[in-house]
Amino acid sequence: MNSTEPIEVFQAAVDALNRENWHRLSTLCDPDSLIEFKRDLLASIVPPKNARLTATELMKAVPNMPRAVAEFQVSRFRESLDPTRRLRDAVPGATSRQEVEMLKPAEVFALWLEGRSVRRQLDRHVERRQMSRATANEIIADGMRRFDFVTLGFVADGEGAGHIVYRHKQAGSRPLTTMARRQSNGDWLLVADQHFLTLDQALLLPEEDEDDLNDLGPALS
């Protein structure tokens, strides 16, 4: 069920998100954006060729960091660059790049959404010994966080495009936006991207520190 009203599509997407219905959620996205998302995701799985880091370089970039801590961080950074691990984290269940390339863009996006879910994040934290299985099970038993959004309106942006403005239900939350595009049949669909419905911010614990390490500048070459 698509809709001629972008806000209705947004509300249907939030409902699918809270139900963990990843396939349904992907069907509410614009096909062109799904194609672009798949292309960008496959490109991101391969780490930069010149990305490297040593404990000495890290200690120079971050003064007063103990060597033991620097070596630990470098070890985590190197693990994060492993293409197999990056693929597994990005697309749960995929065993090779070729397998992902064979999937339809909507299937790739649905798997990516699942990989960003709280449930999958808990599994990763347990696997990496960042959390005990007992703690993860307790979080699941207590009920995982719902995405509670308040829709503020829709702002047109040119011919056949616009932005849905919303915020988290908590008082004082800053407004957020997600883009929608009108299809040839007049229906509206959301634009798929890696910031989709703030899933990239819905982390229970910090993920690997490669982003922070990549920002060190001269320490990486």
- What is the model's pLDDT at position 193? 94
- Of 80, 57, 55, the closest CA to residue 69 belongs to 55
For 100-143, how does the pLDDT look when each residue is reduced to its tens digit (9 = 90+)?
999 999 999 999 998 888 777 777 777 777 788 888 777 766 65
Q: Does residue 13 lie in a domain region?
A: yes
- What is the model's pLDDT at position 178? 96
Q: Does residue 166 lie in a domain region?
A: yes
Q: Does residue 1 lie in a domain region?
A: no
| pLDDT confidence bin for 214, thresholds 50/70/90 | very low
Does the pLDDT at position 215 exceed 60? no
| pLDDT confidence bin for 64, thresholds 50/70/90 | confident
Q: Does residue 19 lie in a domain region?
A: yes
- What is the model's pLDDT at position 143? 57
What are the C-alpha distances in Å from 102 to residues 27, 38, 91, 107, 173?
A: 18, 11, 13, 10, 40
| Mean pLDDT across the chain | 81
Q: Does residue 213 lie in a domain region?
A: no
Q: Does residue 10 lie in a domain region?
A: yes
The DSSP code for 62 is S
Count the helices and strands in the chain (H runs, E runs): 11, 4
For 70-107, how does the pLDDT look when each residue is reduced to its tens digit (9 = 90+)?
888 777 777 666 777 778 878 888 888 889 999 999 99
Q: Rounded to whole angstroms, how far apart are CA atoms 128 and 89?
A: 12
Domain that holds residue 100: 6-205
Query: Angle at the Cα of 89 (from 69 to 215), degrees rounded to 5?
Result: 45
What are the C-alpha distances in Å from 144 to residues 17, 138, 180?
A: 12, 10, 28
Does the pLDDT at position 211 exceed 60? no
18-22, 46-50, 177-181, 208-212: segment of lowest average pLDDT: 208-212
Q: Does residue 170 lie in a domain region?
A: yes
Total number of domains constituting the chain: 1
**137 in helix, strand or coil?**
helix
The arithmetic mean of pLDDT across residues 16-41, rounded, is 95
- What is the model's pLDDT at position 218? 45
Q: Does residue 195 lie in a domain region?
A: yes
- What is the model's pLDDT at position 43? 87
